[in-house]
Structure 1
Amino acid sequence: MDQNLKDYIKATTNLYGVIHKAKFLEIYNSQNKEQISVEDFSSHEYILYNCFASIQGDHLVRVSIIQETLRPTLKIQKGKPHFVPDREELLKYTDKDYFEDTGEFKELQRFLKSFFLIRKKAVEFSKQIRRFCWSFVTFHSQMGYYWAQHRFNIKNRAKAQEFLFLLTNLRYNTRAWEHNGHTLNELQNVVSKREIERLLSYGLEENYFPVINRPGR
């Protein structure tokens, strides 16, 4: 399997989480002179593992997506168009930590830097939140676990509301697997208001948002 094909497998599974083989071939063949067929990669599952991907049925799947979340991810993806950047932009997603540098992320990071006494902790927390935004299916469970592990708390109600506003704004403007690489903001004409509300609260448990107080105070 050539390096270019490996790069496309990494990039598409990082951007979409899950992608049908036919859609993968469509994207690859539209951006490369050398055309491929499904047989060119479906018989090389051991190499796919090195791309942090696997084949499950008719789909290429990012290895971090577990079986329990695969079905709901595919269900939400259904009927939504794919965001397909040009070759140069798409291949940036071979880096599993690549994200577009958005104003919404910068605003959240500025807030956290002004809030936490330790700057490094604020930077890492903001980046971790952005990673969680990749999946609406697992967002709240991952946030809750990370929050509990690091004991992040806010007591000031106004600050807590500001944080929730910035967090929601980031979620609207981060490319997500369930939206086939689109942001929720880009799909507002495709996704109903009711579905948007369901997605934002997917997996949300009562009393999820903890009491928050500034570390060191």
Structure 2
Amino acid sequence: MNTSNKELLVNYIVACTNLYGVTPFDHVQRVYNEQNEDQISLENLTSYVTSTGIKKLLEERFVFVQSSEFVSEAVGVPKEKQMFKEVVAGKPYYVPDQAELLRFVDEQYIQHTPQQKSLKNMLRDDFGESYPIDEEVKGLVYRLQVSGGDFSTVLSMFLDDLQLPIQRAERYIPVIIEIAETTRMWELGGHTQKELQA
């Protein structure tokens, strides 16, 4: 495998881990092989990613090699990882085309939706331009993505941070529910709730 293919493989590993939270080696291998002419065997992938230099490179990008899986730093301790795997078990993986998948190399990448734009408009109306609207919405989407299905905690934290009277804060709930339904979730194999309900 040449250097550019090795870099591409690392990007696939990071992107898949950012999209799914925990990704088996064989899933990354399958996706990589489906989207690239240059093929890699599971044996070669395993040998490559268990070398000290590549493990260190992945860790610098918040991806950890554990057994035969790539695990995001955000998944946390083994107990959390096991609970996460139980929630994800049996769900199909969302596999976007190569260009979309590789956008997930950026750990802060989110797909923008009309629902997020609605929330931004509401925040702008309530707080003006000086409020860090983009950061707040991006943070909400990230917390939803990695929450493991704990929607009520994410919702409560977001509303508490707004520090609005209850009636004004409650106006945000339907929009946040819509955002949750259109956000790529780790516990849904990278799918959105709407995709799995369709």
Any stretches of 5+ residues in structure 1 without a counterpart?
A: 190-217
CA contact under 8 A between 1:9 and 1:51: conserved in structure 2? Answer: no
User: Is the counterpart of residue 83 in structure 1 residue 94 in structure 2?
Assistant: yes
User: Is the counterpart of residue 132 in structure 1 residue 152 in structure 2?
Assistant: no
SS at match of 1:115: helix
Amino acid paired to 1:175:
R
Q: Quick one: distance in 1 between partners of 2:59 and 2:100?
A: 23
User: Is the counterpart of residue 24 in structure 1 residue 28 in structure 2?
Assistant: yes
Q: Deviations over 1:154-191 (max 9, x none)?
A: 2152x3332011111100000011111100111125xx
TM superposition shift of 1:50: 2.5
User: Is the counterpart of residue 184 in structure 1 residue 193 in structure 2?
Assistant: yes
Amino acid paired to 2:174:
F
Which residue in the other structure is 1:198 paired with? none
Given the two structures, how large is their TM-score scaled by the length of structure 2?
Answer: 0.84
CA contact under 8 A between 1:112 and 1:126: conserved in structure 2? Answer: no
TM superposition shift of 1:122: 2.8
Which residue in the other structure is 1:209 paired with? none
Change (3 A) 1:85 1:52: same
Structure 1 segments of 4+ aligned residues over 3 angstroms from their partners: 117-120, 138-148
Given the two structures, how large is their TM-score scaled by the length of structure 1?
Answer: 0.77
Which residue in the other structure is 1:41 paired with? 49
Change (3 A) 1:42 1:9: same
Q: Deviations over 1:39-75 (max 9, x none)?
A: 2323342222133201122211112220143122211
CA contact under 8 A between 1:132 and 1:143: conserved in structure 2? Answer: no
Amino acid paired to 2:22:
V
SS at match of 1:5: helix
Q: Quick one: distance in 2 between partners of 1:85 and 1:100?
A: 12
TM superposition shift of 1:97: 1.2
Q: Tell me the matched-pair count.
A: 186
User: Is the counterpart of residue 63 in structure 1 residue 73 in structure 2?
Assistant: yes
Q: Quick one: distance in 2 between partners of 1:146 and 1:110?
A: 16
Amino acid paired to 1:39:
S
Q: Quick one: distance in 2 between partners of 1:118 and 1:69?
A: 38
SS at match of 1:101: coil
Which residue in the other structure is 1:73 paired with? 84
Q: Deviations over 1:80-103 (max 9, x none)?
A: 111101111111111111111111
Which residue in the other structure is 1:211 paired with? none
Q: Deviations over 1:16-41 (max 9, x none)?
A: 11111111111111112222233232
* Equivalent in 1, 10, 33 of residue 14 of structure 2: 10
Q: Quick one: distance in 1 between partners of 2:110 and 2:172?
A: 21
Q: Quick one: distance in 1 between partners of 2:170 and 2:154?
A: 20
